[in-house]
Amino acid sequence: MSKEIKTPKFAKQTALHCAVGLLARREHSEFEVRQKLTIRDFNVKEIELVIEHLLAKDYLSDNRFAQSTCRYRVNRGYGWRYIANELKHKGVSMIIIQQLQKNCEIDWYLQAELAYNKRFGEIEKDTSQIDQKAKAKRIRFLQYRGFSTDEIFTVLAI
């Protein structure tokens, strides 16, 4: 009795299954889902139908994506400017970004201080002992992290 090895026949995954699989891993913006489905060579009509279905079933939500991204980036020590720029880059509308900023109850001054302390330590916070080159490095770090000039200067007590 010889056993025949059968190779399974894999059907091409539908756009809906592909999109749901993407959303099962993490939140995505509508723009990201469109891009990923386009890269996988699904036609435009099929993509539009899938997006409409996902929006109707509330599987896809730019609001939820924006909140999730904001929460994740805040926990990683980033400021509002960085977060807003990332959301804009990922196709979230400015209306949603502005609503998120308005409803966001985060003390950005505290976030800037926490990011500074994590990177440079609390001992070095007295900037009167730091030379100009090191001070510029600290300012650039906080600017890259997306904190405003006012938040940066408050943290550095300049």
Domain boundaries, the chain: 12-60, 61-106, 108-156
Q: CATH assignment of 61-106?
A: 1.10.10
Q: Which residues of the chain have pLDDT under 50?
A: 5-11
- Which pLDDT belongs to residue 27? 95
| pLDDT of res. 128 | 62
Those residues whose C-beta lies under 8 Å from the C-beta of residue 66, and which sit 6 or more positions away, are: 29, 87, 92, 96, 97, 100
pLDDT at 120: 87
Is 31:96 a contact under the CB 8 Å cutoff?
A: no
Q: Which residue, 134, 132, 61, 49, is CA-closest to 93? A: 61
Query: How far is Cα 99 from Cα 29, in angstroms, rounded to an integer?
Result: 16
Q: Which residue has the tokens 């196709």?
A: 91
* CATH for the stretch 108-156: 1.10.10
Q: How many CB atoms are located within 10 Å of the residue 114 CB?
A: 14
Residues 81 and 147: beta-carbon distance below 8 Å = yes
Architecture of the CATH domain 12-60: Orthogonal Bundle (1.10)
pLDDT of residue 52: 94
- The Cα–Cα gap between 122 and 120 comes to 7
C-alpha span between 134 and 131 (Å, rounded): 6
CB–CB of 146/77 below 8 Å?
no
- Same CATH topology for 61-106 and 108-156? yes
Instruction: Give residue 126's pLDDT.
Output: 56
